[in-house]
Amino acid sequence: MARVWILPSRRLISIIGTGKLGSAVALQVASRELGDLRLVDIIQGLPQGEALDLGQMAAEQGADVDIVGSNDYKDIAGSDLVVVVGGLGRKPGMTRLDLQEKNEDIIRGICDKIVEYAPKTLILMVTNPLDVMTYLAWKVTGFEPSRVFGQSGMLDTMRFKYFIAKALRVSTSSIQAVVIGEHGDSMVPLPRFSTVNGVPITELLSPAQVAEAIERTRKIAAEVIALKGATIYAPAHGITRMVESVIKDKKMVLCLTAHLNGEYGVKDIYLDVPAVLGARGVERVIELKLNDEERAAFLKSVEVVKTAVGHLKTVKVS
């Protein structure tokens, strides 16, 4: 009997915003052959040029991906995942929340186009202030909250892991770090849940060393921006890992910006928490048993984000 091989359909990933970060994400996604790519930007010629450049790289690597650059949102039709990088980035001296008023209208416009052309897609938000913009995207699209999520927790844990490894002089591959709360100054790194091969870092580092790692984690983005103008490679890697978990349905447990509906005693808000990420989006939130000090810090972070959401022009926190 003849055997018929049925090839799986290729997945489609769209990236909105093809500046330095968006193009870095496209490079990693194409290199890993995670799916075909649609690059969309308002700047004439930019996404088309990126697509041609990346396509030649992919050809040399033997990566069979179809990459199209466009200034028209209709080209995102059929997307399995839309990565939203569009919007203004932080400048030296700016906080993420300083960007809120400027990026709100941009994100609203992008989300309207997503609803029009890719109503069945998942959305991975990257634009700052991340927690607020993810909440806005959820409200504007009307999608199920599991289909809209953000990458900030992934990035914050990478940074915490980096400083833990530096302090201990061990391989980062041995470290699992956890950061929850806002993607900003009120973020809550959790040393009690951050481990080196299962051993909490609180048993390996002095309180002063732990405090220093936490402080550096909170401040490192501003430091990089002051030195080189933007953070690129670390967020691009974190985004790509999330794309991989969705496209391959790997169900990775990652710290990410997810909707809370009673978890941690909080409702109707997006914040960084550990969660399972798969082909359907956020499949479930992992609820850690916080002590009193950790819970107080987390609730403080909740209030920071709720206050910012309350200042949105287009939607209000319930």
Known catalytic residues are 183
**Sign of the C-alpha dihedral computed for residues 50, 68, 10 and 236 taken in this order:** positive
Question: What is the token pair recorded at 228?
Answer: 């080189």
Neighbours of 25 (CB within 10 A): 29
Cα distance between residue 189 and residue 211, in whole Å: 10
Cα distance between residue 119 and residue 180, in whole Å: 30
- Which residues lie below 8 Å from residue 125, measured CB to CB, with a gap of 6+? 84, 133, 134, 137, 148, 149, 150, 151, 257
Tell me the one-letter amino acid at 149: F
In three-state secondary structure terms, 272 is strand
Cα distance between residue 106 and residue 132, in whole Å: 13
Cα distance between residue 317 and residue 139, in whole Å: 10
Q: How far apart, in Å, are the Cα atoms of 235 and each of 35, 125, 150, 177, 230? A: 19, 12, 11, 16, 10
Cα distance between residue 41 and residue 16, in whole Å: 6
Q: How far apart, in Å, are the Cα atoms of 41 and each of 15, 68, 78, 111? A: 9, 12, 18, 14
Neighbours of 90 (CB within 10 A): 18
